[in-house]
Structure 1
């Protein structure tokens, strides 16, 4: 157990110093630009760069395990993403989730630390729940956090991986849940839920969110929607036969990032995440080679314009 805890990557002040130094010396960014990107003051950015020098991290290259991750982040952004964070992998056999969670938590914290009020939409899932568990307590009472989907399974039980209430409690923000099943039993039932006033208002709020965080699920036999009982094996096979390779908040899409027209998608009750406009950020939080086609599809279809992933997954994505 102690070995596992030691293996889990946690962001440290030295990691921040390495990131700031890379942005300054390699990225040729000013201290003001570094401060803005990291969500810190200019004075702290200056101190971080100075610390990187004093700790001996600066030679002809950045002598820190995060250097390759920073290079890949920059490459993803050159290819069109607005935001990318790559967590150092934890080694053979380690779960990518343990590496991704603290990095995603830091991004959520950075965004919710701003002084102006934001509407932030969130999906559900294991990666999102793990990230939210590491978000520190903040004074975010001026923010609004809205769920993109319900968390009610076919037997009426709630999902263990809902994140809305947990995140809202940690940051003190107002929360807006979706009183919906993940998958309705019929299209008529879905329309009935969508006719309810609170649901309509929360849908409108979710669609105007300036920042969205979502997990990305695969369509293989280990699909979260199957494991959590929201879909049957027959329904998942129908999705795969129609070309489905990934899902975001229950909505399945193909390798080009186009949502499927038929099948269970006709009964998904939550908000569909469409390609965002330039002023909005949609961050996919996902890692692991089994999710590779799903992540590629989400990026190709521009469903997400931000990504938090692990080093091994990032290498594989860039090789595509």
Structure 2
């Protein structure tokens, strides 16, 4: 070595070992032979290169963009769980993109051996979750609906999912036997006063983890489309700043629940902001961005499954 060349430092050696491993594609045995060191030292040098930040890994795959967005959403909103999947492009139903990812999140909890109470909302996204699920034997858990399952005409709500999931996982299940929206405040109170309903309400309030859809309150609001509220009722809530709804409970763009109108007649249990249990929202689509952002901002939900376009739009709005 020339007297003008400095003696290589430990970091120099680590950088060289890291380059040989991550760029050159050498094994640790090959690096040891190349550098004239033991295999154990080669391994330590490669580890040091990563620990010292000398190596920067770039994932050249579309999943890399998903992981970046997941990290950004976790950091921005303090999320406990976040899954972002690639979108399907303009005109496609975003539920088709997120259904399998949402199913995988629920299956993760269902495979846990300790008994849990799993609270479930309703809606198209939850139906997509069910369709993406694999059958699992999970009789140790209990499934409970957070929202009523009776439509205005007395029929069962089409998008109620608790029984559909129970069929796939062989778990005890508890539908919420009240109207989604009662005609009057007094009728809601009468339903909630019934003994069997109170027991389901208590179980729902004790849920260890919840999965909910996030509905928008724009002119295409699911509550209006599915016949639960009239055009006049929707307009009244919109005038008060309504941005979204979860399990039938309407909130504004900051995630604050409104204290009048529809919210006085909604059946079931309201998802309270800031509780410690996982509360995972399943939603995607341009019309839902404002609603998702509000639910995240107030911590009504602390987990999210969505797609890339929606995640980007939520972060831009935030």
Q: Same fold (TM over 0.5)?
A: yes
Contact 2:204 2:269 in 1 (8 A): yes
Aligned to 1:314: 311
Structure 2 distance, partners of 1:151, 1:227, is: 16
Where has structure 1 moved over 3 Å in runs of 4 or more? none
Structure 2 distance, partners of 1:307, 1:60, is: 26
Structure 2 distance, partners of 1:86, 1:156, is: 37
Aligned length: 263
Aligned to 1:75: 72
Counterpart secondary structure, 2:177: coil
Counterpart secondary structure, 1:283: strand
Contact 1:211 1:282 in 2 (8 A): yes
Aligned to 1:296: 293
Contact 1:281 1:306 in 2 (8 A): yes
Determine which structure has more spread, i.e. the larger CA radius of gyration.
2
Contact 2:126 2:161 in 1 (8 A): yes
Structure 1 distance, partners of 2:115, 2:250, is: 32
2:275 paired residue among 271, 274, 277: 277
Counterpart secondary structure, 1:269: coil
Structure 1 distance, partners of 2:249, 2:104, is: 27
Deviation at 1:243, TM superposition (A): 1.0
Structure 2 distance, partners of 1:180, 1:87, is: 35
Aligned to 2:231: 233
Are residues 223 and 93 of structure 1, via their aligned partners in 2, closer, same or farther at CA, if it must alter by over 3 Å?
A: same
Structure 1 distance, partners of 2:197, 2:181, is: 15
Structure 2 distance, partners of 1:260, 1:151, is: 22
Structure 1 distance, partners of 2:307, 2:187, is: 39
Counterpart secondary structure, 2:152: coil
Aligned to 1:172: 170
Structure 1 distance, partners of 2:193, 2:156, is: 22
After TM superposition, the score normalised by the length of structure 2 is 0.80
| Cα RMSD (Å) | 1.5
Structure 2 distance, partners of 1:276, 1:118, is: 20
Deviation at 1:63, TM superposition (A): 2.5
Q: Is 1:92–2:101 an aligned residue pair?
A: no
Deviation at 1:150, TM superposition (A): 1.2
Deviation at 1:132, TM superposition (A): 1.1
Counterpart secondary structure, 1:151: strand
Contact 1:193 1:199 in 2 (8 A): yes
